[in-house]
Structure 1
Amino acid sequence: MEGKNPIQVADRLFQALELLADQGPLGLMELSTALKLNKSTAHRIVSSLQYMGYVKQNSDNAKYELTFKIVDLSSKVMRKVDVVNIVRPYLRRLMELSGETVHFVERDGTDAVYIDKVECYRNSVQMVSRIGSRIPLYRSGVGKAMAAAMNLEEVEELWNNSEIVRVTPYTITNYDELLHELGEIRQRGYALDNEENEPGVRCVAAALDQAGGGVKYAFSISAPVNRMDNDRVRELAGYVLDTKEQMSREFR
């Protein structure tokens, strides 16, 4: 939903929650400055969150920090995402085959949301992604895999509603270039993220086929570029396509 939040206090409460989640413990003046609120208003906001159990104040430094109640809340949400329980065995097998980290995402508007991640701890370089974080469809392997299953009108709507930002030298910021890329994805069956969202990281991705049309889920193998040359991409693409066929049967 776009536009101004009709309940201003709710807007401020969640801004404070998101700020503490992003920055970690903060003092009242730090909160006031970051939220662009006067000190008394910021104090009322954080006191409300404290009353509800989402925030606590450290007695040693007087800084405010999130409690584990927010973690419990997110865990309850994730436990209801049955699709994760369905695909997890396939993701784990893909991780074991590839020796790399595997992600599973769900589309939410113009973004993909990470709803599962199977890390390969054999590698010293770990992916910075986390469950619950978002990534724009237009500049991600998983996103382009899902966009390739859309018709032209849907792709145009996706592009027009996305904030197009060149975050790396390789980010696609031209609509015609995106259309060309989607055409290639349709031909080969899988998508690539060639350092388009994060420098030094490449991904091989595919979307799941679902009964009734429409694409809601996708998955990827991610690795640093030094472990993802073109020969390695072709090898991993084989694993991805096999896994796509196996998992898609669960959704038909």
Structure 2
Amino acid sequence: MINDIEKKKYILSSVDNVLNLLNLFFDYEELTVNDMARLLSISRSTAFRFAVTLENKGFLAKTDHASYRLGLNLFSLGMLAYNRMELVSVIHPHLQNLAEESGETCHLAMLDDAVHVMFIDRALGTNQLKMETALGYRQYAHLTATGKAILAYQSEQTVNQYLKQAGFPQLTQHSLPHAAALLQVLDAIRQAGYACDDEEAEDGLTCYAVPLLDVTGRSYGAVSISGPTTRMKKNKESHIQRLQTLVASVSKTLIP
């Protein structure tokens, strides 16, 4: 564990100044470059470079009168962090019950960016052989049951963006080979109401997932049960039913 004194050795002054600049917006709705330079005691040219860089990444937005305000990317990040914390706090007890009932490892996942899904919570199963995906693990959405469940209930624009940006690596002989195959799978998911990773990311592992939907029918996450293929297929119907029961219960208390 790094203490506060040691930590100072690793702090980058330029990054620290940029973050201090963003912190100014807790007190000011808009700031000019001159304001930034004065409040941070840095040169105007440095403040200008910081502002332009942040604007380029969408963290600041330039107004018509040459000042800056917070950009939409900061709002998106804040909402993402809030939703993740809220989801975990509400869903974790349900995940824990699901893991105990099914004996398998259960996950909560959300889209992390345009092409990746991230596992943000889990409850380990009670069976001896279990899947132990690390929290924070990211993977192409179409290589996971949770990712496909989420994609199936996203807008056409989001899916098209995914198809343009995602790679289709063949991790196993069952991995989806191309965009056309994924589109067929997404249609099938919408018909069935659940998604399956049938050894598409790792040989011997199968996963079933059900999406979490908001009031508009769009997905904001997914929950899953994962385990060894033989055991999962034997209990497929009961696993999917448990997932659907969990989602129905959560929807009564949490709908973004």
What TM bracket, shorter-length normalisation?
A: 0.5 to 0.7
Rounded Cα–Cα distance in structure 2 between residues aligned with 1:173 and 1:216:
26
Corresponding position: 1:196 with 2:154: no
Partner residue, 1:151: 155
Identical pairs, percent: 27
**Match 1:132 to one of 130, 133, 136:** 136
Rounded Cα–Cα distance in structure 1 between residues aligned with 2:87 and 2:132:
23
Partner residue, 1:225: 229
**Match 2:220 to one of 213, 216, 223:** 216
Corresponding position: 1:176 with 2:180: yes
Return closer, same or farther for 1:50/1:168 CA change in 2, 3 Å cut-off.
farther
Post-superposition CA distance 1:65-94 (Å, at most 9, x none): xxxxxxxxxxxx89x823211111111111
Rounded Cα–Cα distance in structure 2 between residues aligned with 1:143 and 1:111:
8
Post-superposition CA distance 1:119-172 (Å, at most 9, x none): 01x322232310111121111100000011023332121111112211110000
CA RMSD, Structure 1 to Structure 2 (Å): 2.3
Larger Rg, first or second structure (1 or 2): 2
Rounded Cα–Cα distance in structure 2 between residues aligned with 1:160 and 1:251:
32
Partner residue, 1:73: none
Equivalent residues of 2:108, 2:223 under 8 A apart: yes
Tell me how many residue pairs correspond in the alignment: 180
Equivalent residues of 1:206, 1:218 under 8 A apart: yes
The letter for the 1-side match of 2:168 is I
Q: CA deviation at 1:249?
A: 2.3
Rounded Cα–Cα distance in structure 2 between residues aligned with 1:226 and 1:98:
14
Correspondence 1:83-162 to 2 at 5 A:
83-109=87-113, 110-120=115-125, 122-162=126-166
Return closer, same or farther for 1:171/1:50 CA change in 2, 3 Å cut-off.
farther
Equivalent residues of 2:189, 2:195 under 8 A apart: yes
Q: Which 5+ residue runs of structure 2 have no aligned equivalent?
A: 1-5, 12-80
* Helix, strand or coil at the partner of 1:81: helix
Return closer, same or farther for 1:165/1:50 CA change in 2, 3 Å cut-off.
farther
Q: CA deviation at 1:183?
A: 1.2
Partner residue, 1:51: 9
Rounded Cα–Cα distance in structure 2 between residues aligned with 1:210 and 1:146:
12
Q: CA deviation at 1:103?
A: 0.6
Q: CA deviation at 1:117?
A: 0.8
Q: Which 5+ residue runs of structure 1 have no aligned equivalent?
A: 1-47, 54-76
Equivalent residues of 1:104, 1:220 under 8 A apart: yes
Equivalent residues of 1:103, 1:219 under 8 A apart: yes
Q: TM-score, normalised by structure 1?
A: 0.65
Q: TM-score, normalised by structure 2?
A: 0.64
Rounded Cα–Cα distance in structure 1 between residues aligned with 2:9 and 2:127:
43
Rounded Cα–Cα distance in structure 1 between residues aligned with 2:105 and 2:142:
21
**Match 2:249 to one of 236, 240, 246:** 246
* Helix, strand or coil at the partner of 1:222: strand
Rounded Cα–Cα distance in structure 2 between residues aligned with 1:249 and 1:112:
25
Rounded Cα–Cα distance in structure 2 between residues aligned with 1:175 and 1:134:
20
